[in-house]
């Protein structure tokens, strides 16, 4: 079930369940998605960012062309803060092809930096490629296999590839070697931004379901 977390005349934020597409895919079997469901409630809806189909959590959408334009720019300019929670079977370690790896120190965040691109022979996978785009992920160990993750960049499968490349694939991640589970244990738990029209700081949180 998809729950509305917050809305005003410009935006709506929902808790996307794992397994639901953010936008329509190709073919009638992939028509069901967040956009389609919200168009039953609102006259105009566009996504300003996306979550992978198996990822759950906070998804922000615009209710007007003006708000879509402003928030798309905010995401592109890295003015939106995001945090995810993931479950892994072991702690990340430096990977052989990772550009930079830093362990968290105290209350500070560690960092995983790599360069990635689409793996055309194994689509939709991504892989590490020195000619790819820079992907920077901040991480912190919360104990009992839980990691808090903050992507500084917004690459496709960034969090999944970063952890798999450091020997800690996310539980349930069939693409990147995660252990078997009923779902991908990755949840978008926090999102914060400054409202482009009211200047209010919008702080959204969604309970982790695993």
Beta pairing, strands 186-194 & 201-205: antiparallel
Its sign, for the CA torsion 25, 27, 33, 39, is positive
How large is the average pLDDT for residues 175-182? Answer: 93
27 — pLDDT class (breaks 50, 70, 90): confident
Q: Which two tokens stand for residue 6?
A: 């917050």
For the chain, give every domain's residue range: 3-79, 89-184
pLDDT value of residue 29:
85
Query: Among 23-27, 66-70, 71-75, 196-200, whose mean pLDDT is lowest?
Result: 23-27
- What is the CATH class of 3-79? alpha beta
Fold equal for 3-79 and 89-184: yes
In DSSP terms, 13 is beta-bridged to 6, 60
In degrees to the nearest 10, what's the CA dihedral of 206, 16, 184, 154? -80
What is the model's pTM?
Answer: 0.95
pLDDT value of residue 106:
85
How large is the average pLDDT for residues 186-204? Answer: 98
Q: Which residues are catalytic?
A: 52
Higher-confidence residue of 200 and 30: namely 200
Would the pLDDT of 74 be above 90?
yes
pLDDT over 70 for what percent of the chain? 100
Please give the Cα distance from 126 to 94 (Å, whole number): 18
How large is the average pLDDT for residues 75-95? Answer: 96
Buried/exposed code over 2-21 (b: 16+ C-beta within 10 A; e: otherwise): eeebeeeebbbbbbbebebb
How large is the average pLDDT for residues 100-125? Answer: 94
Question: At the topology level of CATH, where does 89-184 sit?
Answer: Pseudouridine synthase (3.30.2350)
Q: Which two tokens stand for residue 146?
A: 């839980």
Would the pLDDT of 26 be above 90?
no
* Residue of 110, 11, 9, 19 whose CA lies nearest to 57: 19
pLDDT in tens, 136-167: 999 999 988 999 999 999 999 999 999 999 99
Would the pLDDT of 1 be above 90?
no
pLDDT value of residue 19:
97
């Amino acid at each position: 079930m998809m729950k509305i977390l917050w809305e005003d005349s410009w935006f709506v934020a929902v808790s996307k369940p794992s397994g639901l597409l953010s936008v329509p895919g190709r073919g009638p079997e992939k028509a069901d998605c967040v956009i389609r469901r919200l168009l039953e409630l609102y006259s105009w809806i566009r996504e300003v960012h996306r979550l992978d189909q198996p990822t759950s959590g906070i998804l922000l959408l615009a209710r007007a062309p003006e708000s879509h334009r402003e928030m798309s720019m905010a995401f592109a300019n890295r003015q939106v803060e995001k945090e995810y929670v993931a479950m892994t079977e072991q702690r990340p370690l430096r990977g052989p092809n990772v550009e930079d790896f830093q362990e968290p120190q105290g209350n500070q965040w560690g960092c995983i930096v790599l360069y990635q691109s689409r793996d055309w022979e194994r689509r939709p996978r991504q892989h590490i490629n020195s000619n790819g785009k820079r992907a920077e992920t901040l991480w912190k160990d919360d104990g009992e296999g839980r990691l808090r993750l903050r992507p500084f960049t917004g690459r496709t499968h960034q969090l999944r590839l970063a952890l798999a490349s450091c020997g800690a694939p996310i539980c349930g991640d069939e693409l990147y070697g995660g252990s078997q589970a009923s779902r991908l244990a990755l949840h978008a738990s926090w999102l914060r931004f400054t409202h482009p029209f009211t200047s209010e700081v919008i702080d959204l949180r969604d309970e982790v379901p695993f």
